[in-house]
Structure 1
């Protein structure tokens, strides 16, 4: 069991729960399952994607591959509308190729594709496992996570003095992890199948990614900093779970949408550009008896909080940040602004989020990029475009974003959850 408790117990409960959630979520498939399990434990009813959407009051959750949707129908709907929190379950890293095992100079290696935009150097000389799903010849799906199994070895400076000046990693040649030596008969897929209790001959397909096996940990003066894999964006996913499970009813339908494939553009059946959330909203409107006119008006009234990690000011690279906006850890969640719609925030959304955070007693910070340093994007603009729902982009500040091991302040994850809870409650 992960325990990151320190003498400062005000944030320890949420942080311990987040650490367990990250540990239980080495892949997007595991994350979706972990969300559903926690909400079922909180009284939600799990449905399959093909089950009818109920009209009865209560909470419901449905897993689709590496994505998960959850919603609560209140006792009384004052006016047709949705309160939505959106996040994503995937992280940058490496995905196992279809025929991964190779044998080079006596070493056994794994062929892996780069997924999204990781910091490859952060994976060097770090043991990691494989996690995801296996599909058998009869169509059964099995989730699997190995122990430490692979490592990408760095070249020694005695062999290449240039690594002292500039590290250049060819993504095909240099990011080829090892998993054995002198074992020419070794088959990586057979190893993973055995770990999952699946006969290798019954394996028909796999969706497996690399994950860091080192557990989350607090560190720094008074243990005020938190290091973990996949804080981008499991910190937001878990905040949404905690908020939805605990929030009071507000007379609107509350929704949590956690999508896969954000790190590669969201263009998939289970990504934010796909039909997953729009279909759920349509099905809810139908079962609740809203007319086409009422459903359209409901979307106009609705609000979406797009929660994804943002950047804390980096003390070693201050020139990369806007001089008037320099967020710090443990100073509150960010409100993310971009005039070119890389974030969907507008003044009306800002007012809603500030009101929710004020009701929860949570501080906020503003983030905007340096004009000379283009920023990333989130599910916010994609969801706003697809749904026509007003959206505000928020998130906790990180250092080392897209590293194998990211860093945040110990207070910010719980503050994000508290702001979301107040948002769901109608603040």
Structure 2
């Protein structure tokens, strides 16, 4: 098989963060603070994708549109990223000596988090002078941890611009607009759970008795959203997005905890933060991917992909079952093949996947000292230690002996520590994107991730060093996986 040899223009490398091989306590703190900035400015999946897109562009990655041909771009460049629906993102680097059939080193994460989704018709009849907002829990939201929290609103608006072109605009109102108030314990039994999430956990967003009820103007009535949502809500979104109410066509809004991420603990050992699952693995995987580019094996294809909708099953076009990863890999393979062997595209696709390795990166359970007996002995992940390797005998995770041996060798060469987690026989295991991707492609796969406390709470905890440790682990994976795979292949594994 012949491959196309095309010149590529040099691309600018950025190094906005310290060298991973000479990390110091000061560098750990700088990385932790930048992660906190990412979390504070990325309350929704759309904002997180936008933030990471800018990081990739600053590192010389070029955006591609799935609707367009990529051939001209492939002839002049080697680093790209693609977004789908504004809520999932994939980036890849084609090594200068990569050919179809050579494998890909892939890290996959999910970028969505527990939140509340504003309903398509959120306007509700006022109750006792209160303005209420129709919102639905996304996955495990509206748990007990959502009571009495300052809830903000953000998302995207589908709108018309000044040229009558349909586009989208991100919006993030910079203050809390909602709250789900508890009932005081003085009322006895009604104050005790369980509570009805539809009728007793409705967010309060204002007072109808504090002023006259607002009416939309004739211009505002041009928007199909008027009448479906409070006009005051639409005007608030308009003020902070720059989109006139009359130009709003549709919107996807989320409610979330507005309390900022913070370093905590006597020695700042912790990061206290909302939406850690799974934005911490997403952030560190992308940063490690970017920083690995200068030292990656030139024979490799390296990919990072961050999917939406894992928390609700991944069965959407922007989720892990939507084919985004497979589509990108197949388009790269198609470009790399000479026209004379194009009929062998399926064969080289299968060979590429067989030579690839996939890391399904999702948060794991750190040991909680108040419930130490709930954890399996010798499987109690610690904060600020290293990557946790997740094992499950019932295939909720993809980890097996081959992938454990593989990733532990990668970790050893990169001087990264690892630890194990497996759930007890009397507890229930969660799921990841790993089984979807490995079963659809045949790639060898492992499930791993950064350990956290309080998974699925509105606010959780990780170690402040785990951002740097996670970034270094993923950087080393992208640099080392191809060489480790050569040794496994020689042994027929």
TM-score (norm 2): 0.82
| Bigger helix fraction | 2
Task: Give 1:264's match in structure 2, choosing from 303, 312, 330.
Answer: 312
Residue 80 (structure 2) pairs with residue 60 (structure 1) = yes
Q: CA deviation at 1:8?
A: 3.9
- 1:307 and 1:168 map into 2 onto residues whose CA distance is 34
Residue 40 (structure 2) pairs with residue 23 (structure 1) = yes
CA deviation profile, 1:303-327 (whole Å, cap 9, x unmatched): 0111100101122223432123111
CA deviation profile, 1:237-260 (whole Å, cap 9, x unmatched): 111111111102212111111000
- 1:24 and 1:347 map into 2 onto residues whose CA distance is 40
- 2:274 and 2:69 map into 1 onto residues whose CA distance is 36
Residue 386 (structure 2) pairs with residue 338 (structure 1) = no
- 2:376 and 2:142 map into 1 onto residues whose CA distance is 22
- Find the counterpart in structure 1 of residue 204 from structure 2: 178
- Find the counterpart in structure 2 of residue 329 from structure 1: 383
Q: CA deviation at 1:211?
A: 2.0
Residue 60 (structure 2) pairs with residue 43 (structure 1) = yes
Q: CA deviation at 1:153?
A: 0.9
Residue 96 (structure 2) pairs with residue 96 (structure 1) = no
- Find the counterpart in structure 2 of residue 214 from structure 1: 259
- Find the counterpart in structure 2 of residue 139 from structure 1: 166
Q: Give 3-state SS (helix, strand or coil) of 1:372's partner.
A: coil
Q: Which runs of 4+ in 1 moved over 4 A?
A: none
- 2:289 and 2:384 map into 1 onto residues whose CA distance is 23
Residue 443 (structure 2) pairs with residue 389 (structure 1) = yes
Q: CA deviation at 1:264?
A: 0.4
Q: CA deviation at 1:161?
A: 5.3
- 1:118 and 1:352 map into 2 onto residues whose CA distance is 36
Q: CA deviation at 1:119?
A: 5.8
| Farther off after superposition, 243-252 or 185-194 | 185-194
CA deviation profile, 1:314-368 (whole Å, cap 9, x unmatched): 2222343212311111121110001111111111111222122222222111000
- 1:178 and 1:360 map into 2 onto residues whose CA distance is 51
Q: CA deviation at 1:380?
A: 0.6
Residue 239 (structure 2) pairs with residue 239 (structure 1) = no
CA contact (8 A) 1:131 1:208 kept: yes
- 1:106 and 1:269 map into 2 onto residues whose CA distance is 42
- 1:245 and 1:327 map into 2 onto residues whose CA distance is 27
Q: CA deviation at 1:422?
A: 1.0
Q: Give 3-state SS (helix, strand or coil) of 2:96's partner.
A: coil
- 1:333 and 1:90 map into 2 onto residues whose CA distance is 21
Equivalences for residues 401-420 of structure 1 within 5 A: 401-420=455-474
- 1:13 and 1:332 map into 2 onto residues whose CA distance is 18
CA contact (8 A) 2:151 2:177 kept: yes
TM-score (norm 1): 0.94
- 1:63 and 1:15 map into 2 onto residues whose CA distance is 26
- Find the counterpart in structure 1 of residue 31 from structure 2: 14
Q: CA deviation at 1:158?
A: 1.7
Residue 129 (structure 2) pairs with residue 118 (structure 1) = no
CA contact (8 A) 2:131 2:204 kept: yes
Q: Give 3-state SS (helix, strand or coil) of 1:104's partner.
A: coil
CA deviation profile, 1:175-217 (whole Å, cap 9, x unmatched): 2111111254353233223321222222221111112221111
| Farther off after superposition, 167-176 or 367-376 | 167-176
Equivalences for residues 361-372 of structure 1 within 5 A: 361-372=415-426
Q: Give 3-state SS (helix, strand or coil) of 2:26's partner.
A: coil
Q: CA deviation at 1:162?
A: 6.0
- 2:315 and 2:113 map into 1 onto residues whose CA distance is 15
- Find the counterpart in structure 1 of residue 96 from structure 2: 75
The number of residue pairs the alignment matches comes to: 419
Identify unmatched segments of 5+ residues in structure 2.
1-23, 215-229, 339-344, 482-493
- Find the counterpart in structure 1 of residue 180 from structure 2: 152
- 2:413 and 2:32 map into 1 onto residues whose CA distance is 22
CA contact (8 A) 2:360 2:445 kept: yes
CA deviation profile, 1:74-93 (whole Å, cap 9, x unmatched): 12127611110100110012
Task: Give 2:193's match in structure 1, choosing from 160, 167, 175.
Answer: 167
Q: Give 3-state SS (helix, strand or coil) of 1:318's partner.
A: helix
Task: Give 2:274's match in structure 1, choosing from 203, 207, 229.
Answer: 229
Equivalences for residues 287-326 of structure 1 within 5 A: 287-289=335-337, 291-326=345-380
Q: CA deviation at 1:159?
A: 2.4
Q: Give 3-state SS (helix, strand or coil) of 2:39's partner.
A: helix
Change in 2 beyond 3 A, CA 1:316/1:169: farther
What is the aligned-residue RMSD (CA, Å)? Answer: 1.8
- 2:301 and 2:115 map into 1 onto residues whose CA distance is 35
Larger Rg belongs to: 2
